[in-house]
Amino acid sequence: MNKNERDSIRKYDSIAGRYDASLEGIFTAKFKKKMLELCEVSSGDTVLDVGCGNGNLINGIKQKDNIKAYGVDISPNMIEECRKYYKDIEFTVSSGEVLPFESGIFDMLTICCVLHHFNNPQRFFAEAQRVLKPGGTLIVGELWYPFGARQLFDWIVSPLLRAGDNKIFSCKRLKQLFTGNSFQVIEVYIKGSMQIIMGKSYKDSIQGNADHD
């Protein structure tokens, strides 16, 4: 386990019991609301939320239909909170860069405001492709800022957060991660500081919507 992962565990363990009321919980709530609007599931689907936090997003998806729901998070305390309230969802302590599941078993994978913590985002996308079924859906929610603000955040703000690695992805970079790992980008939503990108697992992935900087 690297230093960034240890820092992430320390931070999220400390706020697990009050996450919804924390600044981060309040900020990410709008991402989860929009991701719930975008995701479409059918009865019998199998869905995994990576970096599930206290389980709100995966529980919201489960309320849409009779799905098999799973969540993983690097914080043991967050997983304890999930297990208290959502008995019909399977939760596991795990880093999102290595997913403890067999290949080709999920219809959908979601990840909300977590990717920026990973040392190796490429590894996550490869794992997502591995565990999704052919044609499976990946939905990524991340911060969006214009170029100057991204640079300011990465150079000055991020080192002060003490919450693992932090980086702001341009839409172009996120789409490259999708297409470079055999995902077809099918939807891009950007509003204010929020960007949500949806892709389908596909062998010969193609570029989706026009690039944003």
Average pLDDT in the 181-185 region? Answer: 96
pLDDT at 117: 85
- Give the C-alpha separation, 98 to 116, whole Å: 15
Q: Look up residue 180 and give its two tokens.
A: 């470079």
Nearest to 132 by CA among 110, 115, 112: 110
Give ∠ CA 159-26-93 in degrees, rounded to 5. Answer: 70
Report DSSP state, residue 157. Answer: I
The helix/strand/coil state of 121 is helix
**Measured distance CA(48)–CA(127) in Å, rounded:** 12
Homologous superfamily (CATH) for 3-201: Vaccinia Virus protein VP39 (3.40.50.150)
Task: Give ∠ CA 194-178-143 in degrees, rounded to 5.
Answer: 15
Q: Rounded mean pLDDT of 3-11?
A: 84
202 class by beta-carbon count within 10 Å (0-12 exposed, 13-18 middle, 19+ buried): middle
- Mapping DSSP onto H, E and C, the string for 53-99 reads CCCHHHHHHHCCCCCEEEEEECCHHHHHHHHHHCCCCEEEECCCCCC
Q: pTM of the predicted model, to two decimals?
A: 0.88
- 148 vs 151: CA distance, rounded Å: 5
Confidence tier at 36 by pLDDT (50, 70, 90): very high
Give 188-193's long-range contacts (Cβ < 8 A, gap of 24+): 188/212, 189/34, 189/38, 190/144, 192/144, 193/143, 193/144, 193/145
pLDDT of residue 212: 45
* Token couple for 92: 């596991």
Predicted confidence at residue 179, as pLDDT, reads: 95
Q: Which amino acid is at 63?
A: Q
What's the pLDDT tens digit per position in 57-110?
Answer: 999 999 999 999 999 999 999 999 999 999 999 999 998 889 999 999 999 999
Please tell me the distance from the alpha carbon of residue 75 to that of residue 55, in angstroms, as a whole number.
12
pLDDT tens digits for range 146-168: 666 656 555 545 554 444 455 78
| pLDDT exceeds 80 at position 204 | no
Higher pLDDT, 130 or 148: 130
Does residue 205 register a pLDDT over 80?
A: no
Spatial separation of the C-alpha atoms in residues 65 and 11, rounded to whole Å = 33
